[in-house]
Structure 1
Amino acid sequence: MIREDTNKNIIERFPSMESDLKLHAIPQLNKNKEDIWTAIKTLAFYAVLGVYAYYKYMEMTGEPHTSPSVTRYTLMLLGAVPVGIVIVLVVLYDSIRDYLRNRPSRKKIKKIRENYLEDVSKQIISYREAALEWMNKRFVPAEDLIRRIMRGEKKIRNQGDVMLTYRLGTGDLDISEHILLPNMVNTPQNIKLKRTCKKLKEEYGIIHDIPKAISLDEVGLLGVVGQGDKRKAYDIVRALSTQILVSEVPENLKVAFVYDSVHSKGWNKYESFTRTQMETGISLVAGTPEKRGKVLDMLAQAIEERKALNGVGVENMKPRYIVFVDDMALLENHRIVEALRDDLCVCAFTFILVEDCIEKLPGNVEYALVDSSEFSGVYSMSDGSCMPVVFDKLSEQKFDKYIKYMKSENKNIAGR
């Protein structure tokens, strides 16, 4: 499934670091001063409250309270305020003395708070950098993968070390929910901390240009749309399919390409990959009506047989299929269309439908990778929500260069 929290869940598995940043309390300044004023304000509050109640009574009745004791009590309460303040000053004499002796200057207070903000900001920046580095190491663009192979690297693992998880491109990740406050009561000091936390979240809560990934293990039907320009869709497919084809795991993965060789060029290049070849010698790259018929018949039969198992043992269904279809019209009048209406995940199948218009996708497609003049990213077909993504690009020239390299070396591209 494609979801915004996919990368968040990965971030929570950082090795040797905590997933959350808990801010420590702002250094307490002038604590004695706060104690003194808290006591004085408390006394004044109760005195004012009593006087207010008395005069509220006079306002309602137009005359003093009939009970002399109430009037006397109110006057005593009013007079108790200055007496109470004097008592507080005596009781808190040591605190007052310490405050006067150790009172920091405004310049020092400002410096201490600036140091605090700098320290916390460094924590968050370090966290962001660790997250970005961790993701970049595990989700590598297709162009970098083929460059590593051409330099002699012999094993290319699945992206992110997670089965059938592949990089789409880059985007923004909100980590503000990981910037937490310590457990605390509402004191003036802690209110300042809350304001500081909000400010830090606004400034550092978004990581930009972090890899965005998709787990095809959880997607049965996926659309790829170059809105108004199908070449944009082909660019996405080229980068995504290359990752799938060059990774050595899972070993039992097969990739099919269904297209029209008359109207679409370049798909036949995928025949060079061992993942597109069945052990029986059948090629899963089908561009002619005859080849399409054979491949679709074989895939439809596999889906029907697996569907009868009702999802039991899906993890053991072999091989796992990923099927790219260049235009849904190529599947018309074939029984495989019926199979696409059910949950393909329980059959260990993923169909990726390539179109130039999002309206051409079937209604049961849950997500679409869309590249248009107005939007680039993952679009939810069910609720219309969007996750912006700058898709990776792998040019046709670099892809062709890689194919020529593999042929010249006489190597298999996967599982060599």
Structure 2
Amino acid sequence: MEVVMKRLIYRPWLVSAALLLFLAVGTPSRAEDQSARLAEIPKAMLGFVENRQISGAVTLVAKDGRVAQLEAVGLADVEGNRPMQKDSMFCIASMTKPVTATALMILEDEGRLALSDPVSRYIPAFEKVKLDGKPPARPITLFDLVTHTSGLGGSQQNQGTLAETVDALAERPLQFEPGTKWQYSPGVTVCGRVVEVVAGMPFEEFLAERIFRPLGMKDTTFRPTPEQAKRVATLYQPGKDGQSIQRAEHWLNEISEDRSPNPSGGLFSTAADLARFYQMILNGGELDGQRILSDATVREMTRVRTGDLTTGFTPGNGWGLGWCIVREPQGVTAMLSPGTFGHGGAFGTQGWVDPQRKMIFVLMIQRTGFGNSDGADIRGMFQQLAVDALCQ
């Protein structure tokens, strides 16, 4: 009887142990489920490769300070059959602008300039800017430049040195009174020159000394070395037959030792480097013990500073200091939280930070002639798959 009772007592424990073993073996863990979902991202990118919309892509997703996914698919160079790699470099075009804005705000943090300062305080050529042949109602300020409300118009292409380029911009007629409208402009280029003047060193040296080296961004530069150039992805455009892609040429992605730094769009970088920059911003200006900006300054940069002005490039956005801010998620931003900030580049590269979810999205492609890259299906699909994988 005693033996029987012991068996009756222990059987429930055996059943429970068997059930736990079954659950451990038979049910995917949360991490395994997330990995499976994240694996859908490179599959989707391969679909765009097969449809001849891109040659290849690098995608990176980070959450809670950790890189959850970094994958490369397709080719960096079709003609040379060079595979896309996780450390492939890309011309990030206008994704350079938040970096330039960060440089400006480092100096503001240090009390060496103020956003309310007139640009002419640092660049005398701006004393002579004209609107319809007359001086504007008020001077252009640094705030106007970094929020695209200055009234400056024209190409963002360099015209000689950075100093020469900015002086030439001051000679162009303004498009509207400063502060009254939003219009994407080369104003951030002027910010880069202001950084040079105030810091007393070339713009690219300031970026390297105060941002890139402290953050370990070893592959972010205006002038890729010969070794780095071997990793730069080729730019492609739609083929004439409408069924293929072909190599494209553009002044922005030219690699030359003689090229002047373009603060509005001249940087080359990698997904991993950009993720470190974005993580620093998400952390409130610090990464791995290196403080780049104060927390208060980061908050000022990443909130809407353009009021009710209509801004680009997709509906529902506002503008911060160098950053596009998702005010009302919709369309290609529907899966992002209000307050998400980031920037795109002319060749399809995208980088966005969702502070509510503590997520970073980096999409690296190189294409032109496919329409508004900020509103592209490839961006929307990438972001949606990342959110689905990590936020369920």
Give the shorter-chain TM-score range. under 0.3
Rg: which structure is higher? 1
Calculate the TM-score normalised by the size of structure 1. Answer: 0.21
Q: Identify, as 1 or 2, the structure richer in helix.
A: 1
